[in-house]
């Protein structure tokens, strides 16, 4: 699970429990610029992950505050028990300028209490500025990128990414007390980039009460066509949707299939629709607008969930697919890939047209076992990826960092 540069947390659980027993609650602060000031609706994987981990930390006895920036100053207590502090910032979304009230809050509150701040974001100026502010104030912080620094991340807009990396992102990661990754294997990419900051793994998880019960699960009748789904931001490069369309075109010549691509447009929907039309797949591929809050039902209407990303931190939608008892085809570098392999609920593939094509062919041959595979993935996720357990382990690591 951990490499030689990761944070050891042996004995940290006892330390945190002793602190709680003495009436001392560990203070954990999150910073996520776009977290909703009212606590919902939660849109996007990063907000969902922050909410889940914050709720789990509260269950583990921590005092948790989520800091964000928006249109007005507000303080709200989320249903899960953590506090949301929003500070007005009238600058554009991607700016190095932090809200003035947020800076005062950090100086007056965070610098005076013994706690830890989790700064969330990857290649985001706000995250860099928050890390720099905390360093000046002597407040320890953990960098939480929610993504992997895979070489493929630098392929798009390299003339912008590489200067930003050397000027800002690398410094943000190096000055952190630790880097919290969704998969400890992603630490290798940081080492290659010259970042030796200790790393530890905190995967994404689920709240069991948000998962449909077994009786609500839907199953196909093995009638044609086979229904494939990709759910999430429509981003051709990151999510590998161009690769998926090309592989789908090859397999569709042999098997009756339909593909649904659903989610907010990351700027590539028109390009992908044109690719589907050029491959004469317009009647086989459907692009849909997002329907937030309906993920389990939407996924359950399909047979195979596809996450063919060129690089991926974890894949929360893929976790939802496991909980919906679907079979999965995911990139081998995604954080959720080893959980798919461990539960035998699907296949992991290289993010190439040939890799995805071969994976689809192999899954189609396993069609009689799909229900059994899906239920195996569901049981695994409910046992191993609950937020309360993930947060308890994370809190032990945080206590050790504050040690």
Taking only the tens place, the pLDDT of each residue in 192-216 is 999 999 999 999 999 988 888 888 8
Comparing C-alpha atoms, which of 167, 207, 203, 171 is closest to residue 185? Answer: 203
Comparing C-alpha atoms, which of 65, 63, 73 is closest to residue 25? Answer: 63
The answer, yes or no, to whether residue 52 has pLDDT greater than 80, is: yes
Residue 377 · residue 343 · CB < 8 Å: yes
Domain region containing 112: 12-205+386-402
Task: Report the pLDDT value the prediction gives residue 158, as an integer from 0 to 100.
Answer: 96
Mean pLDDT of the chain: 91
Are 55 and 154 contained in the same domain?
yes
Report if residue 179 sits inside a domain: yes
- Other C-beta atoms lying within 10 Å of the C-beta of residue 212: 15
Are 227 and 195 contained in the same domain?
no
Are 380 and 339 contained in the same domain?
yes
Are 189 and 240 contained in the same domain?
no
Total number of domains in the chain = 2
Contacts of 108 (CB under 8 A, 6+ apart): none
The answer, yes or no, to whether residue 230 has pLDDT greater than 50, is: yes
Q: Where residue 71 falls among pLDDT bands split at 50, 70, 90?
A: very high
Are 190 and 313 contained in the same domain?
no
Report if residue 5 sits inside a domain: no
User: Mapping DSSP to helix (H, G, I), strand (E, B) and coil, where does residue 201 land?
Assistant: strand
- As a whole number of angstroms, the distance between CA 102 and CA 67 comes to 8
The answer, yes or no, to whether residue 4 has pLDDT greater than 60, is: no
- Of 176 and 24, more confident: 176
- As a whole number of angstroms, the distance between CA 194 and CA 59 comes to 36
CA angle 7-124-1, nearest 5°?
25
189: domain CATH number? 3.40.50.2000
Q: Identify the DSSP state of 26.
A: P
Are 172 and 255 contained in the same domain?
no
- Other C-beta atoms lying within 10 Å of the C-beta of residue 358: 16
Are 135 and 261 contained in the same domain?
no
Are 346 and 248 contained in the same domain?
yes
- As a whole number of angstroms, the distance between CA 114 and CA 22 comes to 15
How many residues appear in the chain?
403
Report if residue 285 sits inside a domain: yes
- As a whole number of angstroms, the distance between CA 105 and CA 134 comes to 11
Report if residue 339 sits inside a domain: yes
The answer, yes or no, to whether residue 221 has pLDDT greater than 60, is: no
- pTM beyond 0.75: yes
Report if residue 1 sits inside a domain: no
Are 136 and 254 contained in the same domain?
no
- Other C-beta atoms lying within 10 Å of the C-beta of residue 139: 23
- As a whole number of angstroms, the distance between CA 210 and CA 226 comes to 27
Report if residue 20 sits inside a domain: yes
User: Mapping DSSP to helix (H, G, I), strand (E, B) and coil, where does residue 2 land?
Assistant: coil
Report if residue 104 sits inside a domain: yes
Q: What is the phi-psi region of residue 272: left when phi exceeds 0, alpha when psi lies from -120 to 50, beta otherwise?
A: alpha
User: Mapping DSSP to helix (H, G, I), strand (E, B) and coil, where does residue 311 land?
Assistant: coil
Residue 340 · residue 333 · CB < 8 Å: no
Report if residue 4 sits inside a domain: no
Partners of 328 in the β-ladder: 305, 346
Are 245 and 190 contained in the same domain?
no
Are 162 and 228 contained in the same domain?
no
Are 46 and 182 contained in the same domain?
yes
Question: For 116-146, how does the pLDDT look when each residue is reduced to its tens digit (9 = 90+)?
Answer: 999 999 999 999 999 999 999 999 999 999 9
Task: Report the pLDDT value the prediction gives residue 360, as an integer from 0 to 100.
Answer: 97
Q: What is the phi-psi region of residue 299: left when phi exceeds 0, alpha when psi lies from -120 to 50, beta otherwise?
A: alpha
- As a whole number of angstroms, the distance between CA 82 and CA 345 comes to 34
Mean per-residue pLDDT, 254-276: 95
- As a whole number of angstroms, the distance between CA 331 and CA 337 comes to 7
The answer, yes or no, to whether residue 21 has pLDDT greater than 50, is: no
Helices (H) and strands (E) in the chain, counts: 16, 14
Query: What stretches of 236-386 show up as alpha helix (H) in DSSP?
Result: 236-239, 241-252, 269-278, 295-300, 316-323, 337-343, 353-365, 370-384
């Amino acid at each position: 699970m951990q490499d030689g540069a990761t944070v050891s947390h042996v004995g940290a659980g006892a330390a945190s429990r002793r602190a709680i027993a003495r009436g001392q609650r560990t203070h954990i602060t999150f910073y996520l610029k776009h977290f909703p000031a009212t606590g919902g609706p939660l849109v996007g994987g990063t907000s969902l992950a922050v909410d889940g981990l914050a709720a789990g930390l509260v269950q583990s006895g921590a005092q948790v505050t989520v800091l964000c920036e928006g249109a007005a100053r507000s303080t709200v207590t989320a249903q899960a028990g953590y506090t949301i502090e929003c500070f007005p910032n009238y600058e554009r979304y991607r700016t190095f300028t932090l809200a003035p009230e947020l800076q005062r809050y950090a100086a007056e509150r965070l610098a005076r209490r013994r706690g830890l701040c989790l700064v969330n974001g990857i290649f985001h100026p706000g995250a860099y500025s928050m890390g720099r502010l905390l360093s000046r104030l002597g407040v320890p912080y953990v960098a939480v990128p929610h993504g992997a620094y895979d070489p493929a991340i630098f392929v798009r807009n390299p003339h912008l990414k590489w200067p930003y990396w050397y000027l800002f992102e690398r410094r943000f990661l190096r000055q952190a007390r630790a880097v919290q990754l969704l998969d400890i294997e992603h630490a290798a990419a940081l080492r290659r980039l010259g970042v030796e900051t200790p790393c530890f793994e905190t995967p994404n998880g689920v709240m069991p009460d948000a998962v449909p019960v077994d009786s609500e699960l839907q199953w196909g009748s093995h009638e044609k066509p086979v229904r494939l789904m990709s759910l999430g931001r429509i981003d051709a490069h990151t999510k590998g949707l161009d690769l998926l369309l090309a592989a789908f075109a090859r397999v569709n010549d042999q098997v009756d299939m339909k593909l649904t691509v659903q989610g907010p447009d990351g700027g590539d929907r028109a390009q992908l629709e044109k690719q589907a039309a050029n491959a004469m797949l317009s009647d086989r591929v459907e692009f849909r607008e997002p329907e937030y809050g309906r993920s389990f039902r939407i996924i359950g209407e399909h047979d195979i969930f596809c996450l063919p990303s060129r690089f991926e931190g974890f894949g929360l939608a893929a976790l939802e697919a496991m909980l919906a008892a679907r079979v999965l085809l995911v990139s081998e570098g995604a954080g959720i890939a080893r959980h798919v392999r461990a539960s035998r609920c699907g296949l992991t593939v290289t993010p190439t047209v040939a890799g995805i094509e071969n994976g689809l062919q192999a899954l189609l041959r396993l069609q009689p076992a799909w229900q059994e595979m899906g239920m195996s993935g569901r049981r695994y996720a409910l046992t191993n990826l609950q937020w309360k357990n993930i947060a308890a382990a994370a809190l032990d690591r945080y206590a050790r960092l504050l040690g």
